[in-house]
Amino acid sequence: MDSLNFLTYEELEQIRIEFGTPSFVYDEAILRANAKQVQDFPNAFGLFARYAMKSAPTGAILRIFNDEGLGVDASSVFEVERAIRSGFGTELISLSSQELSDDFRYWLQDGVKINLCSIHQIHKFAKWRINEPIGLRFNPGVGSGGTNRTNVGGPSSSFGIWKDDLENAKKLCIEYGLKVERIHTHIGSGSDPEVWKKVASMSLDLVRAFPSVQTLNLGGGYKVARMDNEEATDLKEIGNPVKELFQKFAEETGRKLSLEIEPGTFLLAHACSLVTSVQDVTSTGSEGYRFLKVDGGMTEILRPSLYGAQHPIVIVTNPTQERFRSVENQVVVGHCCESGDLLTPAPGDPETLAPRNLLRGEVDDFCVIESVGAYCSSMSAKNYNSFPEAAEIIKKKDGTLAIIRKRQTFEQMVENEVVP
Ligand SMILES: *Cc1c(COP(=O)(O)O)cnc(C)c1O
């Protein structure tokens, strides 16, 4: 059975009393250790690691990674702004966005870097007449993701300049006099290490086509194992062959490329737990299921409903009042009036209920959902059923708990409404 990643019963009690549930709790020590591991990624001629901040953009997390020396991969002009507010210098931020908004030109003039992600973006950038070097994001024609929805390479993905448009992109950059200094590929979250290596080698072929390129950015997508049967990517294992490819490339071409990577999941996933309370228990009889209803759900964690993603779930009871509790198959559901608000779907199949073997839960038990640091707080069904956004808390290095995002108030939920 699953156990708590980093919280104790006493801390859960303290969280319930001081901050309430549901609350996301991050662990500073894990965040910092992950940052160090990422910076140890094998490389031949230098490495710069960026945090893909869309996985969890809260300011306190950004500040920790800034302190650890990471840069930022931003997905929108708004993320650029959040990173700057959290203390990042413009030169540490790079934007790869599906949407190149007009506002972004001012950030470029201030030194934020850009990877142009489509032919249209090349035209648009050229019109701005900004004399800064650029990166180009390509779709190498191969993708890999944990699910179809997290696969962002290959013919069914709209991300990046399609590989067959290489010559066209090159021609445009020459015509417009753009200096291409970076090639970027990112093929998906939870990608297969074999495919990742293959794409690294394909990306070097893209670099060959642009003699001015000095940096290859291979994106993120490193797998973490949330469940026992999942396999995590070993950064050394995937990094070492790529380091050799860079060395070979240098022998052939005399070009010593620096490497950039931009993990999100790898840095965040295991560093956060969602603390909820069991608020009701129902059963649909011997032919049905025992349901644990918790006071969080798709309003905090959408991944199970969206992808059939699996997260460890731990039922925690008061150890001083411990009675014998059996372990049973139970279905854990969220608080929304929506049958899709399911925390225990079948793997990869959000439609199917997959009862989990858990301690028999009762009202007021804690239900802790583990490894929810990446794409949970940042990608939820916020305010659905008019539940306010959950609080975020950090367990600091010294063990104390501190708030980093207050629970949303009712007022904040409705403040932009206007009656005409
Ligand atoms: C989302 C994203 C990442 C991070 O992906 P993870 O799977 O979280 O590591 C990196 N680069 C780009 C361009 C992205 O869009």
The per-residue pLDDT for range 260-275, each reduced to its tens digit, is 999 999 999 999 999 9
**From ligand 1's centre to the CA of 369, what distance in Å?**
23
Per-residue pLDDT tens digits for 277-321: 999 999 999 999 999 999 999 999 999 999 999 999 999 999 887
133: preceding bond cis by omega (within 30 degrees): no
Question: What is the band of 158 on the pLDDT scale with cuts at 50, 70, 90?
Answer: confident
What CA–CA distances, in Å, run from 7 to 13, 64, 271, 276, 355? Answer: 10, 20, 11, 13, 24
pLDDT beyond 60 at 180: yes
Task: Give the pLDDT mean for 231-241.
Answer: 90
CA 258 to chain centre: 24
Give residue limits of the domains in the chain. Answer: 9-25+269-414, 39-263
What confidence score (pLDDT) does residue 37 get?
Answer: 97
Q: Which of 313, 288, 297, 300 is nearest to 227 (CA)?
A: 313
H or E segment at 387?
Answer: none
CATH number (3.90.650.10, 3.40.50.2300, 3.20.20.10, 3.30.700.30) of 39-263 reads: 3.20.20.10
Give the span between the Cα atoms of 287 and 328, in whole angstroms: 15
User: How does the average pLDDT of the chain come out, rounded?
Assistant: 94
Atom 10, ligand 1: residue with shortest CA distance: 220
pLDDT beyond 70 at 120: yes
Q: Which atom of ligand 1 is nearest to the CA of 55?
A: 8
**From ligand 1's centre to the CA of 55, what distance in Å?**
8
219 lines ligand 1 (CB under 6 A): yes
What CA–CA distances, in Å, run from 172 to 109, 113, 119, 197, 205? Answer: 21, 19, 9, 29, 19
Per-residue pLDDT tens digits for 9-44: 999 999 999 999 999 999 999 999 999 999 999 999
379 lines ligand 1 (CB under 6 A): no
Q: What is the CA radius of gyration of the chain?
A: 23
Q: What is the DSSP string of 137-179?
A: EEE-S----SSGGGB-SSTT--SSEEGGGHHHHHHHHHHHT--
55 lines ligand 1 (CB under 6 A): yes
Burial class (CB in 10 A: 0-12, 13-18, 19+), 300: buried
pLDDT beyond 70 at 59: yes
The CATH architecture one would assign to domain 9-25+269-414 is: Beta Barrel (2.40)
